[in-house]
A and B are shown apart, each in its own frame.
Chain A
Amino acid sequence: MSTFFPKTAPPRASQFISQYSFHSPKQLHQRLIQNHPFNQRVQVFLPAALSEQALTTLASRLFQDAHYYHAHVPLTLFLTPTFMQHIRNGMIAISVQGTIDSKDVVCLDGKGNLILSLTKDTYEQLGLSGTPSKFHPDRQRYTVKIDMRASSMTPGKPGFERIKWCFENTLVTVFPMVLGSVDDQGISLPLSFPESARATRLSFNVQSTHLPNIIVPDTSAIRTIGKSELNWRTSVMELYEWIGMAGMQSDRIVMGNKIDPFLCVYSAPPQKTETSVASSGWLIEVSGLVPSTVISKLMDDLRSTLNTTCSEPGWANFTVWGFQDSPISWINQEHGFLLTGENYYSFFLWSNNFPCQDSENQDKGTYVMLESVGAHDTHS
């Protein structure tokens, strides 16, 4: 009998928690949002206080005319002058047939880079030089990165012609992709595709759900780190667990839920009051190819909504999921699937009139940020 002992340590997913402020000059939240190009789902959780009307305005303001496209695209399309212009304007695109670990995946990251994550077989036949993937030490996967904004990407120059030749002769696969382009204000720009691309125009799927009669925990405890960072981390993680429960509309957080401890030992994080009080919450979910500019707008809107429409202190949670099978998670950060391929970030934010426990730090713009990536991701 033999036992399997792997030589190397098992790959680990990682989570990064940080507490920061909107008023900081570094604008860490902006950097985080802007550098995460491919977002497939946004979820906002708001506890009771907000009226339904405020919510609908929040959602519809951004998504009434927003759209993106699903199309079957050969790579040569990206080298046509119109699409070169779209790419320069920050178009994002990602192939959606999935399985990044075993198939070819291509994407446009919105900064003008065309990234091809290829299997060894495809790479050897392609004819464009790339780098071996970091997650496959046996060189079974390669990444080719083409800067479409470079001055050499002009028709007639040898580099451009070589890429064109390769896309016409060696990598002629037609990729099913989702594509989207927005301007600085987050308004979707129209794209026109040739007939053969079978393009369909899609709009975002916005859904708001009312969660009545749930136990909403107290979030003020995590606004300040306090003396013990470990305790703070634990309570942040507990709150995120709770948000996850709320996101899947679990029965475990409903008031008066009695479950056999043999089946589930989950208990909600503590509330302010001694005896648990039932309240309600709203869950807004947006899915589709959401560009980071839109996310950033949504974040700003959410903040102003919190500050204007709320008479009493309120808080919100704002979570964004990336595509599991994208070649990059954040800009220049290689991404793979392995077990889950998750890459998401989440914010806890509070309204300005939220009482500060810490007398020294009276910053009204404090937020808590969580970034989570799977094992195959270079983001850190």
Chain B
Amino acid sequence: MDGSQDRADLSLYSRLSEDIHKTAGIEDNARSNLGDAAKRQQAQSFVPKYVGDAVVEGYDGGSVYGSKVKNKVFSLDNPPKESSAETKEKQKKRKRNNKSKALTAKEKRTLGVYDIPVNARKYTLFQPLHDLWKGYIDELYGSSSPTNFSQKLLKADFHGAIITVIRSKCPTYVGVSGIVAQETENVFKIITVNDALRVVPKVNSVFTVHIRNSIFTIHGNQFRYRASMRSTKKFKSRPTIDL
């Protein structure tokens, strides 16, 4: 009420009409220069009276005031919503906060997270990995037949396997052999016996893996998935295996 003067331009706070003044018994003292305490007192004396008047018959005005109004805060206005731009910014901030925990692909690339350092490109360093892989593939092989196993092999992990390129459209890849240090969607990174890192694309190449006295041939063209994606992938038989 006390703000009605300041916010006269807001229609929401227009002056009460004259008859309401009369019925409510309000003295028009808005313009009088009363102190705060006096104003509060006035309001406090007004509200119970107004509630008592407004209550429908059958209810006790005093008890309604005591249970519903007294010492309660009512907002006379809907609080203005935060603007959508603001919220977006907030969301963005939140996202960025989440992302800041992991690097983006671009950041990884620039930092060279997955690069194998030159001094780590040693065949002997990767031999334990190969032994580990042998144990893993032996477990996977179990007692299944080679045909059944080839289905399992499609979904197996190749990190640590010794693979050999037996056929390629690019002749220089032919004969490259070594332990797989990393497999990505499109390439195998191989550590050769000469302690060199060779990056061999899967496309247009055919590889072999030697497992338990049998040689398995992998057609790189049909093998172009990430190791994690491949494990859940359903492979289809292709009509041609020509490069």
Partner-B contacts on A (CB < 8 A):
123-130, 165-166, 169-170
Complex CA gap A319/B109 in Å reads 68
- Residues on A with C-beta less than 8 A from B166 are 125
B172 within 8 A of A: yes
Query: Which residue of A123, A125, A129 has the most chain B CB atoms within 10 A of its CB atom?
Result: A125
The answer to whether A129 and B172 touch across the interface, beta carbons within 8 angstroms, is yes
B203 within 8 A of A: no
B192 within 8 A of A: no
B169 within 8 A of A: yes
List 5 A-B residue pairs with CB atoms under 8 Å apart, sorted by A's residue number: A124-B167, A124-B168, A125-B166, A130-B171, A170-B175
The answer to whether A169 and B175 touch across the interface, beta carbons within 8 angstroms, is yes
- Residues on B with C-beta less than 8 A from A127 are 171-172, 174-175
Complex CA gap A364/B175 in Å reads 61
Complex CA gap A375/B138 in Å reads 58
The answer to whether B175 and A128 touch across the interface, beta carbons within 8 angstroms, is no
The dominant DSSP class at the B interface is mixed
- Residues on A with C-beta less than 8 A from B174 are 124-127, 166, 170
**Contacts of B133-183 to chain A: CB distance below 8 A:** 166-169, 171-172, 174-175
B55 within 8 A of A: no
Complex CA gap A169/B168 in Å reads 15
The answer to whether B171 and A129 touch across the interface, beta carbons within 8 angstroms, is yes
B243 within 8 A of A: yes
The answer to whether B175 and A124 touch across the interface, beta carbons within 8 angstroms, is no
The answer to whether A124 and B243 touch across the interface, beta carbons within 8 angstroms, is yes
Complex CA gap A127/B173 in Å reads 7
- Residues on B with C-beta less than 8 A from A166 are 174-175
Complex CA gap A169/B174 in Å reads 11
Complex CA gap A128/B173 in Å reads 10
- Residues on B with C-beta less than 8 A from A123 are 171
CB distance from A133 to the nearest CB of B (A): 15
Partner-A contacts on B (CB < 8 A):
166-169, 171-172, 174-175, 243
Which 7 pairs between the two chains have the least Cβ-Cβ distance?
Answer: A127-B174, A129-B171, A125-B167, A127-B171, A124-B167, A127-B175, A128-B171
The answer to whether B169 and A124 touch across the interface, beta carbons within 8 angstroms, is yes
Told that A124-B171, A165-B175, A170-B175 touch, could you supply 20 new A-B pairs with CB distance under 8 A? A123-B171, A124-B167, A124-B168, A124-B169, A124-B174, A124-B243, A125-B166, A125-B174, A126-B171, A126-B174, A127-B171, A127-B172, A127-B174, A127-B175, A129-B172, A130-B171, A166-B174, A166-B175, A169-B175, A170-B174
Complex CA gap A166/B174 in Å reads 9
- Residues on A with C-beta less than 8 A from B172 are 127, 129
Query: Which residue of A124, A128, A165 has the most chain B CB atoms within 10 A of its CB atom?
Result: A124
Residue in chain B with minimal CB distance to A125: B167
- Residues on A with C-beta less than 8 A from B175 are 127, 165-166, 169-170
Complex CA gap A128/B175 in Å reads 11
Residue in chain A with minimal CB distance to B168: A124
CB distance from A109 to the nearest CB of B (A): 22
Residue in chain B with minimal CB distance to A144: B171
Residue in chain B with minimal CB distance to A123: B171
- Residues on B with C-beta less than 8 A from A170 are 174-175
CB distance from A119 to the nearest CB of B (A): 12
Complex CA gap A130/B172 in Å reads 11
Residue in chain A with minimal CB distance to B205: A124
Complex CA gap A166/B165 in Å reads 13
Residue in chain B with minimal CB distance to A169: B175
Complex CA gap A130/B168 in Å reads 13
- Residues on A with C-beta less than 8 A from B168 are 124
- Residues on B with C-beta less than 8 A from A130 are 171
Residue in chain B with minimal CB distance to A124: B167
Residue in chain B with minimal CB distance to A165: B175
- Residues on B with C-beta less than 8 A from A129 are 171-172
- Residues on B with C-beta less than 8 A from A126 are 171, 174
Complex CA gap A169/B166 in Å reads 10
- Residues on A with C-beta less than 8 A from B167 are 124-125
CB distance from B193 to the nearest CB of A (A): 13
- Residues on A with C-beta less than 8 A from B171 are 123-124, 126-130
CB distance from A100 to the nearest CB of B (A): 21
Complex CA gap A314/B51 in Å reads 147
Complex CA gap A130/B167 in Å reads 15
CB distance from B210 to the nearest CB of A (A): 15
CB distance from B227 to the nearest CB of A (A): 26
CB distance from B122 to the nearest CB of A (A): 22
- Residues on A with C-beta less than 8 A from B243 are 124
Complex CA gap A165/B177 in Å reads 13
- Residues on B with C-beta less than 8 A from A128 are 171
